[in-house]
Structure 1
């Protein structure tokens, strides 16, 4: 499906993970709520899905604040604006939304996410920056596979993580993420650049796992984990935050 590659069942999932089948070639994962199992999944697969991390009301409130900036997207300085798809009307990103929304890191839900991730990683961590991504309904072309380390540099490649926070239930039809399990163990990859977007070329038999994330949940992945996202085929826009985490020094 995504980017023309096969989405095969990976067979790497650890006990404590619930699998939902979407057909013979697609298996969507929901991670365990225990930090021990979550850490094991993160180490093995390079990503984990955590449920019930934040309150829905808090999500709705922050979502409204972010959408106000997307409403005046064209009026913002170029620094904040980025098109993620070469297709007209595709996904767009607000770089450094944390610099646009007043008191961004004072939001209680972000503090809750930081604490939950620290428990999984078993180290003190903090957010370094945040981007907001909006995929329009019935379009929102897929985001091609990439490693966040290709954007964040060597330090992030060695130590960094990304939190992905959707503002709706995230599944294949709404343009959720897909991951290449275990890819973080293979180190940084050479990325190509097309229309300002970096991406890696995957073999045709690459096994990719869609991530189904219930509202109020998050995904956490290594900066070296290869991932992308599906197009949004639903009748509603899909808003999400991408938040970088680094160990506190």
Structure 2
């Protein structure tokens, strides 16, 4: 069986890929470009140019001669190999995300395992942004609980940190109501559900003081999340309660832990 031939990549997409790979702040170094181009059979025809233009000119010339993009994709696999980014996962995910925004226009996705896979072709910028959403990708890399995605799917796709946190925290109250049969909310709901004398939900058998302390601590953690995040987001305008990406990741990771304990 012959090697699959990938069609030539449109010039504007090729330029976008080159700009990411040769980005001044986080892209490949000049020496790395000089090393990987010949290793995948692409001539380094413009080695004195800026990094992204050097890559673009090499890619375009090779593609014009061969009419396929196979070697360009090989370059990405070799240059952005997961093994090269051990200890630099944030950087790897950022580059992969930016590449996938461009690759989505040709129906390809570069996976975290360093391989390409077919993907639904996108036709608009907003579709590409949603498809390669940074926040969702980072939550997946943290193995966040499925409930986070169930309640926040729409918000995650548009990277709305404010409403992502709001909806995710609400999911904890929903889960407690489902498991306890209660209909309350907030601290009152938590106190009734996790009562030591008559617990409707327990995270251990409460047979020792240590286990009782763990149970109480978990209940207090939930009440703290409600008080700090849900109540704040419910009453504060978005413009006055800003959540950046790192804050959102940390909050959502805490909520993920709560969901795992509730199970």
The TM tier, using the shorter chain, reads: under 0.3
* TM-score, normalised relative to structure 2: 0.21
More strand by share: 1
| Greater RCO, 1 or 2 (C-alpha within 8 Å, sep 6+) | 1
- Normalising by structure 1, what TM-score? 0.22
Q: Which of these two proteins has the greater Rg computed from alpha carbons?
A: 2
